[in-house]
Amino acid sequence: MPPFTKGSPMSRSRLRFAAASAATLAVAGLLGACGGTGPAADSPAGKAKAAGRPVYGGTLTYLEHQPPTCLYLPAAGFYPNGGILNQITDKLTWQNPETLKIEPWIATKWEIDKDATEYTFHLRDGVTFSDGTPLDAEAVAANFDVYGLGDEKRKLPVAEFVNNYERSEVIDPLTVRFHFTKPSPGFLQGTSVIGAGLVSKKTIALPYEEQCRLRNIVGSGPFTVKNQVVDKEVDLAARGDYNWAPPSSEHQGRAYLDEIKIIVTPEDNVRVGALISGQADFVRYVQAYDEATVKNAGFTVYAEPTRGVNNGLYLRPGNSILKDRDVRKALQAGTNAKEVVETLFTSGYPVATSVLSRLAQGYTDLSKELAYDPDRAARLLDEAGWTRGPDGVREKDGRKLQLGVFVSGPQPLSKQTLELVGQQWAKIGVKLEIRPADAGTQAVDIKDAEKTAVAHSMVGRADQDVIKSHFHSRNRDAILSDDEKLDRLLEEESAEPDVTKRNAKVAEIQRYVVDQGYAIPLFEEPQVYGGAPYVHGVAFEAVARPSFYSVWKSERE
């Protein structure tokens, strides 16, 4: 698994609900009605509507870029894992990707106490796992006991999306209550993320290595695992008795498709060629330079936003050169994100206007602060005492202004992006030393600010907490932070129950991170899929993992 797996949707706080919960509100199915479930007319799903009535049957051939790794649910953020687990598991709640609101699913309604330390969920009756056992309060309790507390003996780590968990309490077969040691306003949204998929009691009782294996994952989702050839293919079959889609889903009952064949096809142009030549119906990871090929052939490109911390360069203040804020600010001013996008990417990759994506919660526009200004960059470096050497690279006290960065495997065209930025930096007299990603060296050096002064990464996650996840010294810690003020701001954001105040805090953090020169945001990274014109009804969760529940295939033209 690459050290920086892209995008986990795990989030801790869904504020709207924290606010609503102050009144200990039973949310019930009301939201389904006002949640805005109809896809927009210009979205791919909207087009599908025009194609006629859905038909049952058929097999969807879906080409994946990489084989799945460990399928322990909390590790489902890795896209190849999520692409499978999203089809075979259900969650307590459903996050509407358009509105980002939390809607009922396996839980028909819930109550949250005033300080968000007690959550009571009422479960839908008659839901079963594919092994026939009931999805009841005991099963849900067993799941969250593991996700919330982990299990040392079975080597099961705690899930990123559950905070301050204390214990579960089974009230009756269809009612479960969770207790928290401290307020946990993000827990409701946490129950909707991909890693919170519910598995049978038998699965959740297994040790880590066993829960990693797909054949042991028993969920209640619309598809079940029919066959697996490790590292090559996963075949899913529709569950005939599935009848518990989120109430707001237009489609109910069993899935339209009979089968999904997920085939690992690592070669980029084989995936795209197979799609266009009709050998496959849907593919993940269409490279930016292949998008035109796909579109010109009359196929659909789905560039799905990931709603989190933007793809960018993250500067480490622990590095002996970058400890100087002026140098960091100079690099920020000397980087032309617009040129990167225009040279290498497409309109599916919007130029970053802040640390967070425009679709992220609590986003604030900082495009003015991030404007490209090479003159200012040069001035800042001059003032900081870095003077041009004979080879054009700046020097100070006999030391060259040279910074190391790793090519980031999960980021699209990372090497090309870094090379282009390297050229931009060369103009202001900075040398970017780009190193290829070899997993072992990277795992060791990525935690060393001296060797890896700059990190190229992003995190996708549809919640305010995504910024904490990326920057906090005890989370992903992209900048190897030694900034206590930043940690404090992030913790305040994370514990703030009022949504307006919390968004203001997120805006303050974005401004602070940019002002300190910790981040050089480049673009809002999408997940790009390609689909055949006869494939309809593809939906995505809030962080762009596909759901094939409502997918159907019309006759090929």
Partner 1 sequence: MARYLLRRAGQAAFVLWAAFTVAYVLLQLLPGDSILIKFQNPELGLSPRQIEEIRAYYDGGASPLESYATTLLGFLRGGFGYSIDTGTPVVERLAEALPATAVLAGSGFLLAVLIAVVIAFAAGHSRTSWVRDALLAVPSLFVSVPVFWLGILLIQVFSFRLGLVPVIGGSALQQLVLPVLTLAVPIAAPIAQVLARSVDRVQAQAFVPVVAAKGASRWWILWRHVARNAALPALTVAGVTFGELIAGSVVTETVFGRNGIGRLTEQAVNAQDTPVMLAVVVLAAAVFVLVNLAVDVLFPVLDPRLRAVTG
Segment near partner 1 (CB under 8 A); pick from 34-42, 92-100, 225-233, 321-329: 225-233
Answer yes or no whether residue 231 interacts with partner 1 by CB under 8 A. Answer: yes
* Three-state DSSP state, 297: coil
The letter for the amino acid at 200 is: S
Answer yes or no whether residue 297 interacts with partner 1 by CB under 8 A. Answer: no
Answer yes or no whether residue 4 interacts with partner 1 by CB under 8 A. Answer: yes
- C-alpha dihedral over 349, 351, 356, 362, to 10 degrees? -100
Residue from 149, 212, 393, 504 touching partner 1 (CB under 8 A): that is 212
Q: Which is nearer to partner 1, 65 or 91 (CB)?
A: 65
Near partner 1 in 499-528, by CB under 8 A: none
Q: Which is nearer to partner 1, 309 or 499 (CB)?
A: 309
CA distances in angstroms from 168 to 38, 137, 486, listed in the order given: 36, 10, 33
CA distance 536 to 552: 5
Segment near partner 1 (CB under 8 A); pick from 43-51, 125-133, 138-146, 471-479: 471-479
Residue from 61, 203, 224, 417 touching partner 1 (CB under 8 A): that is 61
Near partner 1 in 426-465, by CB under 8 A: 439-446
Answer yes or no whether residue 157 interacts with partner 1 by CB under 8 A. Answer: yes
Q: How many CB atoms lie within 10 A of CB 2?
A: 16
Answer yes or no whether residue 298 interacts with partner 1 by CB under 8 A. Answer: no
Contact indicator for 120, 171 with CB cutoff of 8 Å: yes
Answer yes or no whether residue 270 interacts with partner 1 by CB under 8 A. Answer: yes
Near partner 1 in 343-362, by CB under 8 A: none
Residue 277: CB minimum distance to partner 1, A: 4
Answer yes or no whether residue 389 interacts with partner 1 by CB under 8 A. Answer: no
CA distance 81 to 62: 14
**Among the listed residues 520, 302, 531, 324, the one whose alpha carbon sits nearest the alpha carbon of residue 418:** 520
Residue from 182, 226, 232, 323 touching partner 1 (CB under 8 A): that is 232
CA distance 543 to 76: 12
Answer yes or no whether residue 147 interacts with partner 1 by CB under 8 A. Answer: no
Segment near partner 1 (CB under 8 A); pick from 38-46, 257-265, 492-500, 520-528: 257-265
CA distances in angstroms from 469 to 102, 264, 461, 507, 511, listed in the order given: 21, 30, 9, 15, 17
Residue 449: CB minimum distance to partner 1, A: 15
Q: Which is nearer to partner 1, 24 or 279 (CB)?
A: 279
CA distance 551 to 45: 10
Contact indicator for 306, 460 with CB cutoff of 8 Å: yes
Q: How far is CA 415 from the centre of its chain?
A: 21
The letter for the amino acid at 400 is: K
Residue 215: CB minimum distance to partner 1, A: 11
Residue from 167, 251, 261, 358 touching partner 1 (CB under 8 A): that is 261
Q: What residue has token string 């889609």?
A: 245
Q: Which is nearer to partner 1, 41 or 444 (CB)?
A: 444
Full DSSP string of 505-523: HHHHHHHHHHHTT-EEEEE
Near partner 1 in 74-113, by CB under 8 A: 74-75, 77-78
* Three-state DSSP state, 216: helix
Residue 458: CB minimum distance to partner 1, A: 12
Residue 433: CB minimum distance to partner 1, A: 17
Secondary structure tally for the chain: helices H, strands E:
18, 25
Query: For 53, what's the count of Cα atoms within 13 Å in the CB-facing half-sphere?
Result: 2
Answer yes or no whether residue 318 interacts with partner 1 by CB under 8 A. Answer: no
Token pair of 192 as six digits: 């909707």
Segment near partner 1 (CB under 8 A); pick from 38-46, 226-234, 495-503, 522-530: 226-234
Q: Which is nearer to partner 1, 36 or 207 (CB)?
A: 207
End-to-end CA distance of the chain: 40
Residue from 86, 220, 265, 319 touching partner 1 (CB under 8 A): that is 265
Segment near partner 1 (CB under 8 A); pick from 89-97, 204-212, 369-377, 399-407: 204-212
Q: How far is CA 496 from the centre of its chain?
A: 22
The size of the interface with partner 1 (CB under 8 A), counted in residues, is 54
Contact indicator for 535, 546 with CB cutoff of 8 Å: no
CA distance 305 to 283: 17
User: b/e per residue, 207-242, with b = 16+ CB within 10 A?
Assistant: eeeebbebebbbbbbbbbbeebeeeeebbbbbbeeb
CA distance 515 to 364: 13
Contact indicator for 439, 3 with CB cutoff of 8 Å: yes
Q: Which is nearer to partner 1, 4 or 180 (CB)?
A: 4
Segment near partner 1 (CB under 8 A); pick from 123-131, 259-267, 414-422, 523-531: 259-267
Q: Which is nearer to partner 1, 35 or 186 (CB)?
A: 186
- Quote the longest CA-to-CA distance of the chain: 77
Q: Which is nearer to partner 1, 164 or 243 (CB)?
A: 164
Residue from 114, 155, 323, 485 touching partner 1 (CB under 8 A): that is 155
Sheet holding 394-396, edge to edge: 387-388, 394-396, 399-400
Q: Which is nearer to partner 1, 371 or 443 (CB)?
A: 443
Residue 462: CB minimum distance to partner 1, A: 15
Residue from 40, 229, 292, 371 touching partner 1 (CB under 8 A): that is 229
Answer yes or no whether residue 63 interacts with partner 1 by CB under 8 A. Answer: yes
Phi, psi values for residue 61, rounded to 5°: -95, 115
Residue 136: CB minimum distance to partner 1, A: 29
Residue from 32, 54, 67, 374 touching partner 1 (CB under 8 A): that is 67
Residues that bind partner 1 (CB under 8 A): 1, 3-5, 8, 10, 61, 63, 67, 69-70, 74-75, 77-78, 155, 157-158, 160, 208-210, 212-213, 229-232, 261, 263-267, 269-270, 273-274, 276-277, 279-280, 439-446, 474-477
